[in-house]
Amino acid sequence: MIDLILGGARSGKSKLAENLALSCGRPVVYVATATAEDPEMRSRIAQHQSRRPSAWKTVEESIFLADVLRREATSGRCVLLECITLWLTNLMLMDSGEHLDEQREALLEVLPLLSGRLIIVSNEVGMGIVPMGELSRGFQDEAGLLNQSLAARSDRVILTVAGIPQVLKGKRL
């Protein structure tokens, strides 16, 4: 079972993902893609960490998600992957995006091979104006296309707005 949870910044998507993971009755592996490069991001990461139960295993991986999922998404486990758009940012900035296609394809190819429960969190960034800068427009395009590919491979897709989840595809909450 793959759940894709989409939403804007501070929309409630992380809290929803955490609640789904808590309620599934399986050991949880939290895969974190964020990197703490400034005080504000360190604060955000600390907020997320403080909400996680101590029994959850945390794996930090900013680039090689397919490898981590292959190893961690096993039968009887729940993997909560947060966040696809931070991972995308890491790839786009790492080496001018040279590894982006390779890592995106690896992620999309591994998804149908996984067992257990997977909850993926991603930002929906295409609902506003088209950004002015080339890098920002490229990110918005890449995020939108990746979210479409993930949604096609997911059993359930949920859009979270103002803390209210709306099921777009799959079983109701």
Task: Give the CA distances from residue 145 to residues 91, 102, 150, in Å, rounded to whole numbers and listed in that order.
Answer: 15, 15, 9
Q: Which residues contact 14 (CB under 8 A, 6 or more apart)?
A: 48, 82, 83, 121
The pLDDT score that the predictor gives to residue 43 is 83
For residue 44, what are its two tokens?
Answer: 């955000």
User: Is residue 97's pLDDT more than 80?
Assistant: no
Q: What is the pLDDT of residues 102-121, one digit of tens each?
A: 999 999 999 999 999 999 99
Domain count, the chain: 1
For the segment 80-96, the average pLDDT, to the nearest whole number, is 93
Amino acid present at 47: Q
Rg (C-alpha) for the chain, rounded Å, is 15
Which is more confidently placed, 51 or 162?
162
The pLDDT score that the predictor gives to residue 2 is 98
* Candidate list 26, 48, 52, 169, residue with the active-site label: 48
Which is more confidently placed, 157 or 46?
157
Write out the residue range of the structural domain in which residue 144 sits. Answer: 2-169
SS3 101: helix
Q: What is the pLDDT of residues 25-69, one digit of tens each?
A: 999 999 999 887 888 878 887 887 888 899 999 999 999 999 999
Does residue 99 carry a catalytic annotation?
A: no
Query: The domain spanning residue 141 has which CATH number?
Result: 3.40.50.300
The pLDDT score that the predictor gives to residue 156 is 98
